[in-house]
Structures are given as C-alpha cells and as structure tokens.
Amino acid sequence: MLLKDEVGMLQRIPLFSGVEPAKLKLLAFTSDRVSYGPGQILFRQGDEGDAAYVILSGTADILVESESGPIKIAEAEPNSIVGEISILCDVSRTATVRASGPLEVLRIRKDHFLRLLREFPEITIEILRVLADRLSHTTAELIDARNGTG
C-alpha cells in the first residue's frame, strides 16, 4: 500500500483524525501493518507490552484468564486500539487479544507510541477519552453485577 493511502486510512481513525497528514506519514512509516487469521493471538495476558495495536479491519476478542479458562470480556472493533495499557502503565499485558476472524492491524512499537503521545497532544487526549470511556463502562458493569441486574 502506498504511504499516501496509509495516511488516508489513518485519518479515518478517530484516534488520529486531528493529526496533520505530515505527522501521520511518520506514523505510517514507523508502524507495521500486520494480518492475522481467525484464532491467531496478537498477545497474551502476562506478556511484556512491546506495542499497541490499532484495529484496521476485522474484530478481535479480549480475553482474561480465569480458573475455568479464558473468558471473553470485550470485542475490539475497527478503529479501536488495544495493548496501550501495558505501555502507558508499564505493566504486563492485562488480557489476551485473539483475532475472531481475518484481522488487519497497525502495530505501533512502544517507543514510537510513547513518542507520538509526547509530540502530539491531540492523540494523547483521544487515548484519555478511550480509557475514560472504557473505565465508565467497566464501572457501570460492576454496579450492575453488584445489584444483580447484569
């Protein structure tokens, strides 16, 4: 794919929509497009966080380990980001991410991801929005579970 097409694709992702094309060119150049088949693992819970992944097409299951085996807690859809928590918090992976069908992602290495956040406040604000949204959903689910309505 041409760099120009990559930039166009990145502009459609809410996370990067406020970033100017010249900066997106750098992101496209320093990140990798990776394809996964159904059932392939992007990373496992407990792994070291070495990259964040932006879902370009397809969906992925977010799984956490339990005594009775893996439990699906969420699904990552196109334009969403996964794997950023272990980078931001410098902790091991908090979940396993597995392709639920054919999946294409943009893999952004940890050092490039952190540089993006330092250089482009608009991306940092979007990441904060994503994390706050996830936290509010998790909180609502916990309240439902506690009240017996979930």
- Note the pLDDT of residue 40: 98
Q: What is the pLDDT of residue 131?
A: 85
The pLDDT tens digits along the chain (150 residues) read 566 777 888 888 887 887 888 888 888 888 999 999 999 999 999 999 999 999 999 999 999 998 999 999 999 999 888 999 888 888 999 999 999 999 999 999 999 889 888 888 888 888 888 888 888 888 888 898 888 865
Distance from chain centroid for Cα 132: 14
Identify the H or E element spanning 11. Answer: helix 3-11
Q: What is the pLDDT of residue 76?
A: 94
Domains of the chain: 32-136 (2.60.120.10)
At 2 the pLDDT is 64
Q: Give the model's pLDDT for residue 17.
A: 80
CB 96, CB 53: distance < 8 Å = no
> How is 54-93 classified by DSSP, letter by letter?
EEEES-EEEEEEETTEEEEEEEE-TT-EESHHHHHHT---
